[in-house]
Structure 1
Amino acid sequence: MKILIADDEDYTREGLLEEIDWEEFGIDEIMQAVNGEEALKIVKWFRPHIVISDIRMPKMDGIAFAEELLGLAPESKIIFISGYLETEYLKSAIRLSVIDFIEKPIDVDQVRKALGRAVEEVLRERRTREADEGNREFRQQKLFELLTRRDSDWRTAERLARGGDFPLNGRYVCMAVQFPRAGQTTGEELDQLLDMVLQAEGRAIGIWQEPSAFEAVIACQDRNRYRLGPFYQRVLDRWPDCKVAVGMEVEDYRNIFNSCKTARAAMNCAFYQPEGRLFEIDETILQKRFMEPGIYGAFLRVLPEGSRKLSEWFCSLFGDLFARKYYQKEQVYTLMVSLLTAVFRQYPSSYDCVPWVGGEEQLQAAVLNMDSLREIQDFTDTVLGCVQDREEELSGFGRVIRGVLDYIAAHYGEEDLSTARIAEAFHFSPAYLNVLFKQEMKVTLKQYLSGYRLEKAKKLLEQDYMKITEIAEKCGYANANYFSKVFREGTGMTPLEYRSARSEE
Structure 2
Amino acid sequence: MLKAVVFDDEFIVLKGLTKLIDWSEYGVELAGTAADGLSALETFRKLRPDIVMTDIRMPGMDGLQLIEAIRSEAPDTMCIVFSGYNEYDYVKRAIKLGVVDYLEKPITIVKIREGIQKAVDRIHEMNEMSSLKQKWQQGLLEKRTLDLLLKGEEATGEWAAVFGGDADRVAGVTVLAYSDEDFRLDGRAEYRTVYASNGSESLAVLFHLDSVTDVWETELSSWQSSAVGSGRTYSSVGDIPKSYREALRALRYGRYLEGKGWIRFEDLGDSHSVNPQLSEREEAVLFDMRVGDKDGLMRKLDEYLEEFRNEKLDPEIAEVELLKTVFHGFEVAKETGGNTAEIMGPGYLPQMELRSMQTLDEMAGWLRREMEKIMDWILSVRQRSKHSAVEKAIAYIGDNFGRDLTQQEVADHVEMNATYFSLLFKEQMGISYIKYLTKVRMEKAKELLKEEMPIHEISEKVGYYHARHFSEVFKKQTGMTPGQFRSRGRGT
TM-score, normalised to structure 1's length? Answer: 0.47
TM-score, normalised to structure 2's length? Answer: 0.48
